[in-house]
Structure 1
């Protein structure tokens, strides 16, 4: 629900479509100015009994924005030392998702009962003093894979993509999981791992394991702060093994953050780690790729992303819109027709897509089809200046297409109130009447609306539509906000 503040104008020829869809595509970046979501998310505390560990375990689960109002499934981040890192991790993940750098994720923060026991591999070296109560990493990994993951999968809408994030001993555990159970997680963020443990025994084991890891796929991001000593030495050796032996389809990176201490390094590591893991999940310069290599290259990008992340990835409205606009600008009618047809399949009520398809048919000499789509665009948006202008040029009688829909003031008054997105209580919309016209206030900004039907309104400055919901008694209960092919539901609270 992020609305830029440009104005619609009837600029000549193809640029009208290009500009409208440009602002759809880049709408998420406007969130930086509007701050329409809470910076930190709150989670739900839950408990489960572990037969493997013989104890109750507490977790905190944070779901992404939009979770409660939809049916989408999400990757899962399993976070060690959970309570210590929950807020900065969920805040980072939400920030990156809002800006198109990664998908929304479910964060499962695992609270500690006996940290050293759970995260340390068994000691095999005779050097150093004995460490009683350690060496439980394999049991802890079995708890996560055999008990916690099924628990989460049964209760939340998960995708088959799991990320492990661990710091210090948690980083050691992440490296241990990669070396000994690479089947459990798809990606890892290992932050200042304690690879000094047991005379760097895990480094030796990794050297042997990667001799037989030819089919390993996944992502591994490891960092180190200014700790130095055996911690840095172990990390450098581990990175050297990956440099020499990691398979082609296993992506990894080691980043030394000398300006960070052992305590401060987790935050930046989490940000860069998640960004690196999901590099390729989205397409940040769709027009550039299209111009360089065509539509097929765009589809190949998302096919590769689907294979890598284990679930289908397809271009969004915000990706395809600018490509369609560029195709029109270049006079490439075939590509424009293909793109705008796909957009209409994704969202039949996207008026700019009908405008674009009409422009494509005009280039192809298909006047009847162009008229049909301009008419459709005008039915969706009565104030669609481009469609009205072109239909007039074609000599179409517009008497059946009034520029406005009359809605009684009493009906408009019934919509006035405050509406909240259920899983984002800080995202509040206030609908009000201003000089007899409906408007919505969002984060201190007021946007004018105009009706396309008695229950459906368009935001004047952008292709965003709001539809009011009522119960069987006619009481207004909520509103659906449609933008760029996605719908957000908000509930009326007063």
Structure 2
């Protein structure tokens, strides 16, 4: 079977509607007591929509600083981007600091001596208390990304340059690098990353900012450009049409695409077999230092792309592997039913579709209408 690019585009337009018709997966509240900070902590957690499709699959964590204001749009962006395998599916955790000035600054500024300089203690809380608590409750993988804006962007810059032992990637949107006479930038001149692991992937951006904000960004770029990539694996971008308050939207989207550059195995209309996909991600592991196992949406997108581009057997093999790993995924069983029917294998298509209906009902899936519609069509063909 051979489909034109126009046909493929039309098919994926339908796929787009199928995947984005509903809002982001519901979030839940996570609470704990911190001994290090001597205060109660409340965080918001958004689980991937595929979380119930397996009992063992682990997900990277994205820690969102200033979670009370930044959590929802970032969780939504993760949901959208991961649907098309641009970034991994992740557990998104929004954390808010009660005292931003103290928690997000790593030096004490004389004018704020009693209210600043607590970044190292806050890092200990995240690393030694919050993450273990999350790991106990959720299926968390050992890959951690942090994102922050303004003062919390200063903090994620601090983590990127001082704590490669804790994080794997960082996003800093219009960070307050002017703090304490550009103290962090001065630190970067002498600090080096650990040699045993790939450098933290760090994206830093700046909106149309005045005075010391713009100056600090230029100073940072000058310092980073003099460093080898083995020390800092960074990218930067300016957004001249954005203000300090509007830039977190585009800054986080671009930041996510940056720190996960090279993640999408088939970014355009090219396709890969299951074996080629496995080889691709083995190479990606060497680049980032972590083995990202393929997720529900990766199996789904790569399998359907292959099938719609005429390699139905490739698509079938990818999706069959997908349901082997995610045996409770209504998404994958439904797509496998589609590919079986493309191969005129209506009996197996109906079996796969019946499983899709079963799990869609168990999970109260937002895709239930589309899944039941295909099931009805397949039943009529098998009479």
- Answer yes or no: same fold by TM over 0.5: yes
Question: Which residue pairs with 2:348 in the alignment?
Answer: 380
Give me the whole-angstrom Cα distance separating, in 1, the residues matched to 2:152 and 2:175.
7
Question: Which residue pairs with 1:222 in the alignment?
Answer: 204
Give me the whole-angstrom Cα distance separating, in 2, the residues matched to 1:77 and 1:300.
26
Give me the whole-angstrom Cα distance separating, in 2, the residues matched to 1:211 and 1:87.
32
Mind listing any 5+ residue stretches in structure 2 that lack a counterpart? Answer: 325-332
User: Residues 235, 327 of structure 1: CA spacing in aligned structure 2 closer, same or farther, 3 A cutoff?
Assistant: same
More helix, by proportion: 2
Aligned partners of 1:48 and 1:58 also within 8 Å: yes
CA offsets 1:463-482 (integer angstroms, 9 cap, x no match): xxxxxxxxxxxxxxxxxxxx
1:110 deviation in Å?
0.6
Aligned partners of 1:83 and 1:110 also within 8 Å: yes
Question: Which residue pairs with 2:143 in the alignment?
Answer: 161
Question: Which residue pairs with 1:276 in the alignment?
Answer: 258
Question: Which residue pairs with 2:238 in the alignment?
Answer: 256
Question: Which residue pairs with 1:50 in the alignment?
Answer: 34
1:159 deviation in Å?
1.5
- Give the alignment of 1:73-472 within 5 angstroms: 73-123=58-108, 129-210=111-192, 216-248=198-230, 250-285=232-267, 288=270, 299-307=278-286, 308=288, 310-313=290-293, 316=299, 318-319=301-302, 339=314, 342-343=317-318, 346=321, 377=345, 379-381=347-349, 422=363, 426-429=366-369, 440=373, 448-450=377-379
Question: Which residue pairs with 1:394 in the alignment?
Answer: none
CA offsets 1:32-78 (integer angstroms, 9 cap, x no match): 33565433443211211111111111111111112234333211110
1:351 deviation in Å?
7.4
Question: Which residue pairs with 2:330 in the alignment?
Answer: none
Question: Which residue pairs with 1:63 in the alignment?
Answer: 47
RMSD: 4.1
User: Residues 242, 62 of structure 1: CA spacing in aligned structure 2 closer, same or farther, 3 A cutoff?
Assistant: same
CA offsets 1:80-134 (integer angstroms, 9 cap, x no match): 110111111111111111222122211111122111111111226x6xx344211
Q: Secondary structure at the match of 1:209?
A: coil
Which moves more between the two structures, 104-113 or 319-328? 319-328
Which moves more between the two structures, 71-80 or 234-243? 234-243
Mind listing any 5+ residue stretches in structure 1 that lack a counterpart? Answer: 1-15, 329-335, 357-373, 383-404, 406-411, 432-438, 455-494
1:288 deviation in Å?
4.1
Normalising by structure 2, report the TM-score: 0.79
Larger Cα-atom Rg: 1
User: Residues 170, 423 of structure 1: CA spacing in aligned structure 2 closer, same or farther, 3 A cutoff?
Assistant: farther
Q: Secondary structure at the match of 2:73?
A: helix
More strand, by proportion: 1
User: Residues 146, 449 of structure 1: CA spacing in aligned structure 2 closer, same or farther, 3 A cutoff?
Assistant: same
Give me the whole-angstrom Cα distance separating, in 2, the residues matched to 1:262 and 1:224.
8
Give me the whole-angstrom Cα distance separating, in 2, the residues matched to 1:230 and 1:184.
29
